[in-house]
Structure 1
Amino acid sequence: MNGLLLTSKEEKMPIEIMYISNKGEISHRTILVKDIQPEYIKGYCLTKKQPRLFKRTNILSAAKKSDRGVNYA
């Protein structure tokens, strides 16, 4: 997953993530990674249309879109 996050940041490529909030709510997001920190990912959420901070431990899966759909890691 780390490689995909880095690729998103460097190539400005949107990725899909499954994320669980601190309240236990699972959501599907499309994000652009802006910065990678040891505990957090700073990104722009295309779903919510605003900057967001994502806890790395709360990212359940990450994937890039392909012509055949989404392939989760």
Structure 2
Amino acid sequence: MMYMAADGSISKRKIKVLQVGEASFRAYCYLRKSKRTFSIDNVLALVPIMKKERYVV
């Protein structure tokens, strides 16, 4: 996720969304290593990360 903070600084974060509201959402932020609340209006870009597990037969 590319996110713009209230002071205008932009950061790139890897998050796990926990709860979505009307104007904000709660997520675990791997950058800060804590649960954070993000404003939906400040999200600049989102890209889903898909993990593929490979099994050896």
- 2:45 corresponds to which of 45, 56, 61: 61
- Unaligned stretches of 5+ in structure 2? 52-57
Residue 66 of structure 1, CA deviation: 5.5
More helix per residue: 1 or 2? 1
- Runs of 4+ that moved beyond 3 A: none
- Unaligned stretches of 5+ in structure 1? 1-16, 68-73
Q: Please name the residue that 2:25 is paired with.
A: 41
Q: Percent identity?
A: 29
CA RMSD of aligned residues (A): 1.4
Residue 42 of structure 1, CA deviation: 0.3
Count of residues in Structure 1 that have an aligned counterpart in Structure 2: 51
TM-score, reference length from structure 1: 0.65
- 2:34 corresponds to which of 23, 40, 50: 50
More strand per residue: 1 or 2? 1
d(CA) in 2 for partners of 1:60, 1:19: 6
Secondary structure of 1:57's counterpart equals helix
- Note the alpha carbon deviations across 1:9-67, whole angstroms, 9 max, x for none: xxxxxxxx000001000000000000000100100001110000000000000002368
Higher CA-based Rg: 2
